[in-house]
Structure 1
């Protein structure tokens, strides 16, 4: 009887030791998993970034008449102030804000107005200049609202992609012409479509990216000027913070 009691006590002791060992191992595993999760960057939310964007671009048109020749350089600038809202703990953010785009088109194009005597209106045509000019620039100043979906890696050196769209309004437009007689500036060019909307794209690392913009809207009002002419820009984006 005494031996049976000792055997039972020993068995209970072994079982208790085994259960304690299993419990300790389970607690250790859970603690390790908790610490691993704590230091897993995938579980952290992105910090807001890319809030100031400065783009230096080559700006031009697509679809202009074949008789028109562009001239280089044709430099424009875009400045945007953005809000950056991370989406959960993902690598994606939602960006929106306000921007100002200075878009230029250097060419040999003269803006010729043809009068419609029946409707008492003017239609714009683009024709090559018949005299020598050293400067011929058409410029637009566009106030814009950009909206973007952004991707950033959670690494020390961030790789980023921005894809979005923008809508804007041409608040000012003019032509600058310089010839042998001097320089003149002509404002409020007729038949220009004031509405601008299009798509934009950026890809890069850290504070630098390649940027591109294509406007789906046409330069001139429908049936008031050459059709299917669309502005575009491609260049370098500097993103300080």
Structure 2
């Protein structure tokens, strides 16, 4: 978390420098809102099975760059295409362990463990439809960006600490490598509310608990910061 705070401070400092430089230039009638972004989210699990619960604070952060492609004369409506990185953790009571016939999934009693989570690292490609109230000389404006994001999981880890000892697994085969979902950013100037809703499951279709398929998906709610 401390590294993310440092990144935020750097982003905000750069934004102030860039804003001061923009004041000195003439209006650009062909301006674009190419932007670096960074965000922090609270991560939720959707479509949970009965008895499966989250515990503690599940944190995520993301950063990247989006190329702006205006589609109207005023240039306040555009498409955006980007490339970014995301890291996420999910604290919950789903135990993932290796058995004699492969991976075994079970739901834990919260009193039997002190730590249980899975985390992932993703390369992301966001695509956005963008509206903003900007002008060539107005760099503080309202925005509504809706879109779709495709992500590839480059690494993931599960860790359990409790009555069974310590169980740590890396890059197991049952996690879906590709994740995709809907995004929404809205706000004013640097500060924006951000939401993401995954349209596919975190796990592959063959993962079941007591005969029920595990269709959990990712939901993120947080803040997004943009700088030019």
TM-score over 0.5 (shorter chain): yes
Is 2:70 the partner of 1:86?
yes
Q: Partner of 2:112: helix, strand, or coil? A: coil
1:83-162 pair list within 5 angstroms:
83-90=67-74, 91-112=76-97, 122=102, 124-129=104-109, 132-154=112-134, 156=138, 157-162=140-145
Shift of 1:165: 0.3
Name the structure 2 match of 1:67. Answer: 51
> Of the two, which has the highest radius of gyration?
1
| Unmatched runs of 5 consecutive residues or more in structure 1 | 1-43, 116-120
Shift of 1:178: 3.5
> Which TM-score applies when normalising by structure 1?
0.71
Matched residues, number: 193
Is 2:200 the partner of 1:217?
yes
Larger strand share, 1 or 2: 2
Q: Distance in 2 between matches of 1:60 and 1:114?
A: 28
Is 2:173 the partner of 1:193?
no
Instruction: Answer with 204-213 or 62-71: which moved more.
Output: 62-71
Report the RMSD for the aligned CA atoms in angstroms: 2.5
| Unmatched runs of 5 consecutive residues or more in structure 2 | 1-27
Q: Distance in 2 between matches of 1:46 and 1:239?
A: 20
Q: Distance in 1 between matches of 2:145 and 2:45?
A: 23
Q: Is the 8 A contact 1:175 1:187 kept in 2?
A: yes
Q: Distance in 2 between matches of 1:145 and 1:68?
A: 30
Larger helix share, 1 or 2: 1
Q: Distance in 2 between matches of 1:46 and 1:69?
A: 50
Q: Is the 8 A contact 1:165 1:200 kept in 2?
A: yes
Q: Is the 8 A contact 1:124 1:224 kept in 2?
A: no
Q: Distance in 2 between matches of 1:147 and 1:130?
A: 39
> Which TM-score applies when normalising by structure 2?
0.75
